[in-house]
Structure 1
Amino acid sequence: MSGRLRRAAAALVLAIGVVTGVAACSLLGGASNVPVATDAPPKGTDGAVDFDGGFITVGDGAKKVDIWFDAMCPVCGAFEQTNGATLAGAVDDGSITLRLHPLTFLDAASNGTGYSTRAAAALTCVAVTDENAVLPFYQALFTDQPEENSSGLTDKELAKRAADAGAGDISSCLSDSGPYQAWAQANTANSQKGPIEVDGKKALDTIKGTPTVLVNGKQYPGGVTDKKAFTAFLADN
């Protein structure tokens, strides 16, 4: 079986787990070879980033959709491939505000390169420089998504995807992205401490896996590849 087929099969198994309430990509596991960011995380807001809230904002609709994700999580990729166009359409027509919460727990599955942290920092670089490029770059992270236990994309490759998404050159930002990396890692740690609050109200105890998707503070309970179920949930909440 090819690597791509193995990844698809794994994603399907995990997606089935989501239907029964089991976490998708698990946040448990060893992290002995994970690079730790030591800079102080930024505070306040900058561009599309709410550093205090722990998310990156796309759109300005009244309905709030929050997604906790890891760029290396295959189930996050499966969710994006299935439902990304629906969410992008809702952003474009002004229906929703999409809030992206990048997590980094799968650093442990990138051969010591800290890919999840670097991808989160790259998305943050895009978000502080060009708000209009956030969603295209987020989508690009899941196009030919690196497999778990690979080294992920290099910084040069991340910068190219950002440029292709319309963000311009983020190379210098990536080379000095220690604070953004620290922010993403702090968000990951906080996701395990809880409680998880959305607009000042407790929504969850902790984040148990990715993707975790909330619509107006209510967690989507269906399968990540069930487009009909997600579209209905988005419409009804």
Structure 2
Amino acid sequence: MRTTVKKLAAVAGLAAVLALSACSGTDDAATAAAGSAVVDPTVGVAIDGAGKAVEPTHDAVVVEVFSDFLCPWCQRFETDHGDEILELAGDDRFDVRWRPVAWLDRNAGGSEYSTRTAMLLLHVAEHSPQHFWDTLVAIMDVREGGPQLTHGQLADVVAAVGVEGDLVAVQSDADLRAQVLAFSNEASSLDVRHVPWINVDGVQWEWGTEDAGSLRDAAHSALS
């Protein structure tokens, strides 16, 4: 499984901003779920420089990424900025957190792709944390045809990075489903209006604009 991300062709900033609106979320999540030290809907999933899911810290600049696996611009963000994300996650001055949501099931043809993929990611964070980033990248890589994947095929995508267990059953787990809904609810309560949505020290970083600069620069600016 690749550990670095490939660069896509540059897309004009205005086009990116316009396209982001297609990934906005309006569905309400009706259920809340309690989190754990690693998986907490009110915090997200913190990662270290190796992409492992870890407990968050509370004395560092927080970099948060809200993302839906069905969103093409979330895939582009991971591709363009994955190296920077892991670099920041390996720096003790920053606490990088991934916050999955499932807002785009309405575009998944009834397959609940956004929910199922988020369930798998949260399961991996809890039970196979060393595979968190590789799982995220692997699922992003199949996004284009994702809604057509069966439970078994999606399980195979995650198993290919080294995650063990019944990954088909994970996609029907009621507790995980409730957690995904809670993550989505929390994002809505924070006034996150579309995905990908990136906060640096509580302030939105407009990554799709022409003058956005790098995520690295935005994070380091928050240190001063």
Report the TM range for the smaller structure's normalisation: 0.7 to 0.9
How many residues align? The count is 206
- DSSP 3-state at the match of 1:45: coil
Partner of 1:199: none
- Paired with 2:97 and 2:214, the residues of 1 have a C-alpha distance of 20
TM-score, normalised to structure 2, is 0.76
Structure 1 residues 126-141: aligned runs within 5 Å = 126-141=124-139
Partner of 1:203: none
Residue deviations 1:146-180 (CA, integer Å, cap 9, x gap): 25xx6243322332232222322342651542221
- Paired with 1:162 and 1:178, the residues of 2 have a C-alpha distance of 19
Call closer, same or farther: CA 1:171–1:219 in 2, change over 3 Å.
same
Equivalent of 1:219 in 196, 204, 220:
204
Equivalent of 1:207 in 192, 195, 214:
192
Structure 1 residues 164-179: aligned runs within 5 Å = 164-171=160-167, 173-179=169-175
- Paired with 1:37 and 1:223, the residues of 2 have a C-alpha distance of 27
- Paired with 2:214 and 2:22, the residues of 1 have a C-alpha distance of 17
Partner of 1:73: 71
- Paired with 1:67 and 1:19, the residues of 2 have a C-alpha distance of 16
Equivalent of 2:34 in 43, 46, 62:
43
Structure 2: which 5+ residue stretches go unaligned? 1-7, 49-55
Structure 1 consecutive aligned stretches of length 4 or more whose deviation exceeds 6 Å:
224-227
Equivalent of 2:156 in 137, 154, 160:
160
- DSSP 3-state at the match of 1:50: coil
Shift of 1:109: 0.8
Partner of 2:44: 55
Contact map agreement 1:56 1:127 (CA 8 A) in 2 = yes
- DSSP 3-state at the match of 2:82: helix
Contact map agreement 1:82 1:225 (CA 8 A) in 2 = no
Greater per-residue strand proportion? 1
Partner of 1:91: 89
Contact map agreement 1:42 1:183 (CA 8 A) in 2 = yes
- DSSP 3-state at the match of 2:122: helix
Residue deviations 1:88-130 (CA, integer Å, cap 9, x gap): 1222354532211111111011110100000010001101102
- Specify the code of the residue in structure 1 equivalent to 2:36: T
Partner of 1:118: 116
Partner of 2:3: none
Contact map agreement 1:78 1:225 (CA 8 A) in 2 = no
Tell me the percent identity. Answer: 23
- Paired with 2:107 and 2:210, the residues of 1 have a C-alpha distance of 23
- Paired with 1:17 and 1:188, the residues of 2 have a C-alpha distance of 26
- DSSP 3-state at the match of 2:99: strand
Structure 1: which 5+ residue stretches go unaligned? 1-7, 197-205
Structure 1 residues 7-18: aligned runs within 5 Å = 12=11, 16=14
TM-score, normalised to structure 1, is 0.72
- Paired with 1:170 and 1:97, the residues of 2 have a C-alpha distance of 31
- Paired with 1:190 and 1:235, the residues of 2 have a C-alpha distance of 26
- DSSP 3-state at the match of 1:151: helix
